[in-house]
């Protein structure tokens, strides 16, 4: 199945209710780009208000706890974010792996919990600058994904609907310098072959692999032309409708010619 390009905004810890007007503008613009699937992951506090108003965009969360509930002060479960209107959750983002010490097995437990709550997942992976310089980026990312992806049985029959992989080299996030198209091509091909190995030819090929790390309207067209790139996870440039939808426009262009 050919899936629509998936353009997901990660607002990180940005956004109070004053940002709802920006989410509205993104939703309105997304209605003019139906060949692209547009989604936003705002802070938890904005999930419900955006979900309540959105007509076109998907709304998701940036993380969830792995447990169903209990004595976890300050945490939030997958069922809670689903109840607030989230349809997906970003897991294993490098900022969580680094700042919150999230291990591959912890990320995997979150993924299993999110799937059990009916959510789609965007599984992040990516190497540090040191790992890339040492020449071990591909091996590192493949091992990270093997340790973080959920058990196959949970995804059987609906892999492409429930799972997206986001390749986000840490050194490209928020730096203004995206990975080169050659590096993206090499990594996305390696991730594709891992998905086929883990989930079989048909289902492994059905999973979108999106790229994240300083994607902007100016570099989006070149990135989307790379084989195995099925969209983008966008941080800074998703905070305004103009730049975010500039990226969505670049993703819809191959369909317009
Ligand atoms: C991100 O943090 O997921 C990200 C890709 O950020 P940016 O687009 O700002 O590099």
Residues contacting ligand 1 via CB (< 6 Å):
10, 168, 173-174, 212-215, 233-237
Give the position, in ligand 1's atom list, of the atom nearest the Cα of 12: 2
C-alpha dihedral sign at 77, 209, 9, 177: positive
Closest residue CA from atom 8 of ligand 1: 235
Residue 127 forms part of a structural domain = yes
pLDDT in tens, the chain (257 residues): 689 999 999 999 999 999 999 999 999 999 998 999 999 999 999 999 999 999 999 999 999 999 999 999 999 999 999 999 999 999 999 999 999 999 999 999 999 999 999 999 999 999 999 999 999 999 999 999 999 999 867 676 688 999 999 999 999 999 999 999 999 999 999 999 999 999 999 999 999 999 999 999 999 999 999 999 999 999 999 999 999 999 999 999 765 43
CATH of the domain at 163: 3.20.20.70
Atom of ligand 1 nearest to the CA of 172: 10
The answer to whether residue 203 is domain-embedded is yes
Give me the number of domains the chain comprises.
1
Q: Judge whether 66 and 110 are in contact, CB under 8 Å.
A: yes
Is the separation of the CB atoms in 1 and 161 below 8 Å? Answer: no
Q: Annotated catalytic, 65?
A: no
Output the CA 213–ligand 1 centroid distance in Å: 5
Closest by CA position to 223, among listed 193, 197, 246, 201:
246
* Ligand 1 center–CA 86 separation, angstroms: 20
Count CB neighbours of 31 within 10 A: 11
Query: Model-level pTM?
Result: 0.96
Is 217 inside any structural domain? yes
Residue of the CA atom closest to atom 2 of ligand 1: 235
152-166 confidence digits (pLDDT tens): 676 766 889 999 999
174 in any annotated domain? yes
How far is the C-alpha of 29 from the C-alpha of 160, rounded, in Å?
25
Which of ligand 1's atoms lies nearest the C-alpha of 124? 3
State in Å: Cα 137 to ligand 1 middle. Answer: 19
Evaluate whether residue 1 is within a structural domain: no
User: From the CA of 237, how far away is ligand 1's center (Å)?
Assistant: 8
* The pair of three-digit structure tokens given for residue 42, joined into one six-digit string: 């705002």
Domain membership of residue 232 (yes or no) is yes
What lies within 8 Å, CB to CB, of 205 at 6+ separation is: 192, 195, 196
88's enclosing H/E stretch is: strand 88-91
Substitution candidate for ligand 1 out of 122, 214, 240 with most atoms within 8 A of CB: 214
Catalytic, 72? Answer no
Q: Which of 51, 66, 93, 188 is catalytic?
A: 93
* Residue 154: Cβ within 10 Å count: 15
Give the helix, strand, coil percentages of the chain, each rounded to 5.
Answer: 50, 15, 35
Report the length, in residues, of the chain. 257
Quote the tokens at residue 16: 């109070």
Beta bridge partner(s), residue 164: 122, 208
Tokens of 68: 């169903």
Confidence (pLDDT) at 257: 37
* Contact yes or no for 111/149 (Cβ under 8 A): yes
Which pairs with CB-CB distance under 8 Å and at least 24 residues apart come from 179-185? 179/211, 179/213, 181/222, 181/223, 181/225, 181/226, 183/132, 183/137, 184/211, 184/223, 184/226, 184/229, 185/226, 185/227, 185/228
Domain encompassing residue 33: 6-255
């Amino acid at each position: 199945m050919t899936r629509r390009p998936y353009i997901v905004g990660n607002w990180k810890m940005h956004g109070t209710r004053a940002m709802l007007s920006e989410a509205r503008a993104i939703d309105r613009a997304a209605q003019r780009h139906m060949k692209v699937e547009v989604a936003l992951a705002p802070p938890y506090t904005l999930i419900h208000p955006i979900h309540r108003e959105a007509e076109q965009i998907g709304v998701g969360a940036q993380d969830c706890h792995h447990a169903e509930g209990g004595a976890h002060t300050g945490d939030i479960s997958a069922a809670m974010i689903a109840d607030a209107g989230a349809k997906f959750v970003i897991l294993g983002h490098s900022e969580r792996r680094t700042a919150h010490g999230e291990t591959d097995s912890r990320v995997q437990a979150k993924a299993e919990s999110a799937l059990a709550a009916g959510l789609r997942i965007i599984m992040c992976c990516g190497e540090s600058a040191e790992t890339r310089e040492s020449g071990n980026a591909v091996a590192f990312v493949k091992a990270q994904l093997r340790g973080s992806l959920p058990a196959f049985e949970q995804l059987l029959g609906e892999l492409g609907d429930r799972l997206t992989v986001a390749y986000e080299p840490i050194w490209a996030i928020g730096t203004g310098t995206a990975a080169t198209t050659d590096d993206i091509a090499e990594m996305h091909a390696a991730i594709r072959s891992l998905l086929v190995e883990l989930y079989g030819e048909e289902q492994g090929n059905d999973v979108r692999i999106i790229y994240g790390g300083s994607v902007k309207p100016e570099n989006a067209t070149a990135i989307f032309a790379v084989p195995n790139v099925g969209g983008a996870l966008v941080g800074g440039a998703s905070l305004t409708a103009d730049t975010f939808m500039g990226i969505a426009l670049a993703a819809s262009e191959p369909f317009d010619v």
